[in-house]
Chains A and B, each alone.
Chain A
Amino acid sequence: MNALEIKNLTKSFTGFKLDNLSLTLPSGCIMGLIGENGAGKSTTIKLILDMIHKDSGAITILGKDNEDNIRLTKEDVGVVMDEAGIPECLTTKQVGKVMKHTFRNWDDAEYARLLQKLSLPDNKPFKDFSRGMKMKLGIAIAMSHGSKLLLLDEATSGLDPVVRDEVVEMFSDFTRDENHSILISSHIVSDLEKLCDYVAFLHNGKLLLCEEKDQLLAEYGIVHCTAEQLKALSPDVIKYKKESPYGVEAMVLRSAAPANVNVSPISIEELFVFMVKEAR
C-alpha cells in the first residue's frame, strides 16, 4: 500500500498556483519535498491534511481519501509544522495531558522518553523555549501517538547540527517498520540527502521531478571542463551548464556521456540548484 498518493492536485491563490502536482510515497519510505521558500511545500502539506480546500485533484492518505473522515485518518498521522503552534503558556507536561485527550493511541511513556531524549524540560512554559526546543516538542508529539505517517514541514530548521543529526536518526529508525513513512519538506537539502529514499523537487508550485534518490544520483553527474571541451559533448547529454571565466560546470546524463569524459558524482543539492536554474 502507498502511504500517500497525490494526483493532479491544484490550488490557486492570488499570485501563486500549485499546479497539477502528482506524487506517490510508498509505505516504509521517506520522501523529501525540496523547494525554495514559497515553492509550495507547506501548501502541499496543508492540502494533504485538508486544512486548505483544494481546487481539484485527489489525495489518498494511508489508503483513504483525505476528505473521507479526515479526523479519523489524522489519528495515524504525526505532523510538525514550520511553526509549532502550541499555546505559549502551556508546559510540556500540560501539552502531554492535552494530547492524551486528543489522540486515542497517545503513549505517555513514549512522550516522556522522547522529552528526555530531546532534553526538553517538564515545567517550562512554551514561550520560554528556543526555536529548536519548539521544533523538538513538535517532533515528540508527532511521534508519541503511534503514527504511521509523519508529515514534517521544515521540522529540522532551527536545530543545532548535533540535535539535527539525532533527529534525522530518529526519523530513520521510525521507518524501519515497513508500515511507517515520512514526507519531509525542507530547503536544507543536506538533511534530506542523508535521510530520503525519494526526492521531489518543487519550484514555483510545479513539480520538477519525483524519483528515487539513488537512481537520480546514478543518472546524473557533473562535468568540470573548458568551454571548448564541452562543445565536444552532444547537447542531449548536457542537462544544464554554468559558464564562468574559469571554466564550465555542467550537469550531464551519465549514461549518455562518452567514456573519455570524467563525470563526477552530483549531490542532491547541486542537482536541485541546477534544475531550478534550468526551470527559470
Chain B
Amino acid sequence: MKGLLLKDWYMMRKYCRSYLLIAAVFIAVSLYSNDNLFFIFYPCLLCGMIPVNLLGYDERSRWMQYSGTLPYTKTQIVSAKYLIGLLAQVTILIVTGIAQGVKMTVAGNFVFGEFVVLMLLMLIVATLTSSISLPFIFKLGVEKGRTAYFIMIGFVCGASILASSFFRGQLVAEIEPNAILAALAVAGIGVYALSWYLSVVFFKGRDLE
C-alpha cells in the first residue's frame, strides 16, 4: 500500500498547495479573532475534502481502472484514501491545536477541558466530509457520489431542523455540554470507521469498467 500512499502524496503536493495557503491564512486570522469558530473550523473542513478531491483527479486520469491491474486489493485502494485523509486531518488538527493553545495561554485563559473540547470538535469537523462522502463516491463514482452527498446533507439538515423544533432544546438542557461533545466525538470516530467499512464493501462490489 506504500505505493498508493506515495502516489497520493505526490498528488496532494501538486493539487492541494492552495489548501495549505488558505489553511495558513485562516489559522492566522483565528489568532486575532475572538470567539469566531468559523476561522478555526474552516481549515479542518478544507482538509476533510482532500480525499474527495484526490478521487476526482483519480477518476479523471482513470487511475481507478489502472489500479485494478496492479497488485492491490480493493480494501487497500480504499484504505489508502482514508489514511491519506487522516494524515492531512491530523496534521491540520495539530497545527490548529498548537496555534489555539498558544493563543489561549498568551491570553491567560487556557483551560485544559475547553482545549480538549475544541480539539474534539475540530476532529469531528475534519472527518465529517470524508465520512459522509467517501462511501457514496466509492459506490457510485465521483460525480454521482457528490450528488448523493449533497442530497444526504440536505436531508440531514432538514431532519436536524425538524428535530430541534420538535424537542425545543429540552433534551440538550438536560445533558452536560461536555458530555454531549464527548459523545459526539466518539460518534464522529465511529462514523469514520463505519464509513471506511462501508466504502470497502461498496468498492468490492463495484466493477472497474
Residues of A within 8 A of B (CB): 46, 49, 51-53, 71-72, 74-75, 77, 79, 81, 83-90, 94, 97-104, 126, 151
B10 touches A94 (CB 8 A): yes
Q: A51-B208, A89-B10 are in contact. Are A102 and B65 (CB under 8 A)?
A: no
Residue of A nearest to B205 (CB): A53
The CA-CA distance from A74 to B7 in the complex, in Å, is: 19
* Residues of B bordering A, CB below 8 Å: 2-4, 6-7, 10-11, 14-15, 57-58, 60-73, 207-209
State in angstroms the CA–CA spacing of A71 and B1 once bound together: 12
The answer to whether B7 and A85 have CB atoms under 8 Å apart is no
Q: How far is the CB of B51 from chain A (nearest CB, A)?
A: 14
- Do residues A79 and B72 form an inter-chain contact, with CB atoms below 8 A? no
Residues of A within 8 A of B72 (CB): 71, 102
A81:B63 contact, CB within 8 angstroms = no
- The residue on A at minimum CB distance from B72 is A71
CB pair B69–A101 under 8 Å, yes or no, is: no
Could you tell me the distance in whole angstroms from the C-beta of A244 to the nearest C-beta in chain B?
A: 41
User: Is the CB–CB distance between B62 and A75 below 8 Å?
Assistant: no
CA distance A28 to B87 in the complex (A): 46
Contacts of A83 in B (CB 8 A): 62, 65
User: Which residues of chain A are within 8 angstroms of B4 by Cβ–Cβ distance?
Assistant: 102
CA–CA, A268 and B80, complex, Å: 46
Closest to B68 in A: A51
A127 CB, min distance to chain B CBs, angstroms:
9
- Nearest chain A CB to B71's CB is how many angstroms away? 4
Please report the C-alpha to C-alpha distance between residue A100 and residue B4 in the assembled complex, in whole angstroms: 11
Residues of B close to A99: CB separation below 8 A? 3
- Output the least CB separation between A198 and chain B (Å): 22
Q: By the criterion CB–CB under 8 Å, are A74 and B10 in contact?
A: no
Q: Is the CB of B69 within 8 A of A74?
A: yes
Most chain A CB atoms below 10 A, which of B7, B57, B65, B208: B7
- B residues in contact with A151, CB < 8 Å: 69
How far does the alpha carbon of A242 sit from the alpha carbon of B64 in the complex, in Å? 45
6 more A-B contacts (CB under 8 A) besides A53-B207, A94-B7?
A51-B65, A81-B65, A81-B66, A83-B65, A86-B66, A102-B4
Main secondary structure of the interface of B (DSSP, over half): helix
How many Å lie between the Cα of A79 and that of B70 in the bound state? Answer: 8
Separation of A180 and B72 alpha carbons in the complex (Å):
22
Q: Which of A53, A71, A86 contacts B63 (CB 8 A)?
A: A86
* A-B CB contact pairs (8 Å), 5 listed: A79-B69, A84-B62, A84-B66, A98-B7, A104-B71
Check B14 against A52 for contact (C-beta < 8 Å): no
B71 in contact with A98 (CB, 8 Å): no
Nearest first, the 8 A-B pairs at minimum CB distance are: A85-B66, A102-B3, A101-B3, A79-B69, A51-B68, A101-B2, A51-B208, A89-B14
CB neighbours of A77 from chain B (8 A): 69
Instruction: Determine whether the beta carbon of B7 is less than 8 Å from that of A87.
Output: yes
Whether B7 and A49, one on each chain, are in contact in the complex, defined by CB atoms closer than 8 angstroms, is no
Inside 8 A of B71's CB, which chain A residues have their CB? 71-72, 74-75, 102-104
Q: What B residues does A46 contact at CB under 8 A?
A: 68, 207-209
**Residues of B close to A72: CB separation below 8 A:** 71
Inter-chain contacts of A86 with B (CB < 8 A)? 61, 63, 66
Chain B's closest residue to A49 (CB) is B69
Knowing A49-B68, A74-B69, A102-B71 touch, does A87 contact B57 (C-beta < 8 A)? yes
Find chain A residues with CB under 8 A from B61 CB: 85-88, 126
Query: Once the chains bind, are A89 and B11 in contact (CB under 8 Å)?
Result: yes
Known: A49-B69, A81-B66. A88 touches B57 (CB 8 A): yes
- Contact yes or no, A87 B11, CB < 8 A: yes
Q: A88 touches which one: B60, B66, B68, B73 (CB < 8 A)?
A: B60
With the chains together, A74 CA to B67 CA distance in Å?
11
Residues from chain A with Cβ under 8 Å of B64 in the complex: 85
Do residues B62 and A52 form an inter-chain contact, with CB atoms below 8 A?
Answer: no
Chain A residues within 8 Å of B10, by CB: 87, 89-90, 94, 98
Contacts of B66 in A (CB 8 A): 81, 84-86
Q: Tell me, in angstroms, the Cα distance from A151 to B66 when the chains sit together.
A: 13
Contact of A71 among B3, B60, B73, B209 (CB under 8 A): B73
Contacts of B67 in A (CB 8 A): 85
- Given known pairs A51-B207, A94-B10, the reply for A87 and B3 (CB within 8 Å) is no
Does B63 contact A85, Cβ atoms closer than 8 Å? yes
Give Cα A167 to B45, complex, Å. Answer: 48
